[in-house]
Amino acid sequence: MDRPASLWIMSAYRSESHASWARWLEREAMECNLNFRMFELPGRYFRWRIRGNPLSWLAEVQEALTTEVPDHILATSMVDISTLKGVHPSLAHVPVTLYFHENQFAYPVGEGQHSSIDPQMVQLYGALSANECWFNSSYNRDSFLQGMDALLRKMPDHVPDNIVERIADKCRIVPVPVDPLERRQGASSRPLILWNHRWEYDKRPDRFLELLDRLESDGVEFELALLGPRAQKVPKALLDIRSKHASRIIADGMVPRAEYEALLRSARVVISTADHEFQGLAMIEAVSAGASPVVPDALCYREQYPEQHRYPSGDMSAAAALVKQALDACEQVNQGEVDISDWTSDKTAPIWRAFLQDKAQPQSTAE
């Protein structure tokens, strides 16, 4: 006798990119009539969230297990899946696909944060216990494996051989689906510079401020669209930009979706000054709409954008290179279309749909 298959989707940190991924999966799962259950926790209190999610979900998972044991679990790498399976023995043999939006071996530590290997160990044990490890970019996978190897080499004793190789064998690159935006017709008529990232330390808004100051001192004409989520406490870099470049700002804050897309289509240049980026959904959206990318020659960007759109990062010449790259992009009305199709849902959605359709297949049970 056949019964409907069941998939649990577990996301322990609902930040912007994680939420976008979960919404897309939920929509697609409903379309293929998959029996699924979504578990999510808010994207705040990071260190508690990555270590405490089995406790936070304790009652919810116990209640869910009274009606079903899932046939498969799709969990983000923020989920402490090895502990979750230990706390709930019914889940011990359920296969898991662990999805890495990010990895804690390549995530920069912010000012005032304490360094701890706990988040790294959660992801290491999770990768060991998972059946598959999916990453949203090669950079994400490679930095995870390299970071894990470096950590294991520091351990004092009793470290098994071939841990990295065991995990590498079950890794796969599957980006988050990003629906491309309708591309504007023709070149942008004005030098509108776009920032559509989180206003947090790892995106380095202080570097963005320095860039704007340099462009102004060089007499460059430009406008600014300051988008992207920001914390309740306004970062100093944003306050300084508002003070120094008030006359240039045409948008500042989270705007309605239709207005957001219109601004992306209007932008001539979209800037990243990030120290951390594993896929860069905001950049992909902006470039799909026609904005010219200016990105560090590092992180996931090397996989995504041609060399002429990347500036050197991490050395003394980086600031000057960023200014030159941005200046060229502002002054060139038509830099040519950048092909970002490998990173949009045109290419990535079929992989995820095939995964969901496979998990929707009825399961046989003993009569």
**Residue range 261-293, pLDDT digits in tens:** 999 999 999 999 999 999 999 999 999 999 999
Let me know whether 143 and 272 are in one domain.
no
At 10-35, the pLDDT tens digits run: 999 998 889 889 999 999 999 988 99
Q: What is the mean pLDDT of the chain?
A: 92
Domain assignment present for 187: no
Let me know whether 317 and 359 are in one domain.
no
DSSP β-ladder status, 171-173 and 132-135: parallel
Residue 108 has pLDDT above 80, yes or no: no
Confidence band for 112, pLDDT divided at 50, 70 and 90: low
Let me know whether 6 and 96 are in one domain.
yes
For the whole model, what pTM was predicted?
A: 0.94
Let me know whether 231 and 313 are in one domain.
yes
Let me know whether 154 and 243 are in one domain.
no
Let me know whether 199 and 161 are in one domain.
no
Backbone angles phi, psi at 172, to 5 degrees: -150, 145
The helix or strand, by DSSP H or E, that contains position 153, with its residue range, turns out to be helix 138-154
Mean pLDDT over residues 307-335, rounded? Answer: 81
Burial class (CB in 10 A: 0-12, 13-18, 19+), 233: exposed
> What are the tokens at 341?
């199709």
**Residues ≥6 apart with Cβ < 8 Å to 186:** none
One DSSP character per residue, 169-180 reads TTEEE-PPP-PP
Confidence band for 320, pLDDT divided at 50, 70 and 90: confident
Domain assignment present for 64: yes
> Of 41-45, 110-114, 247-251, 307-311, which gets the smallest average pLDDT?
110-114
DSSP code for 200: S
Backbone angles phi, psi at 43, to 5 degrees: -85, 70
Question: Is there a contact between 9 and 25 (Cβ–Cβ < 8 Å)?
Answer: yes
Let me know whether 163 and 220 are in one domain.
no
Per the structure, the count of domains in the chain is 2
Mean pLDDT over residues 332-338, rounded? Answer: 71
The predicted structure's pLDDT at residue 16: 82
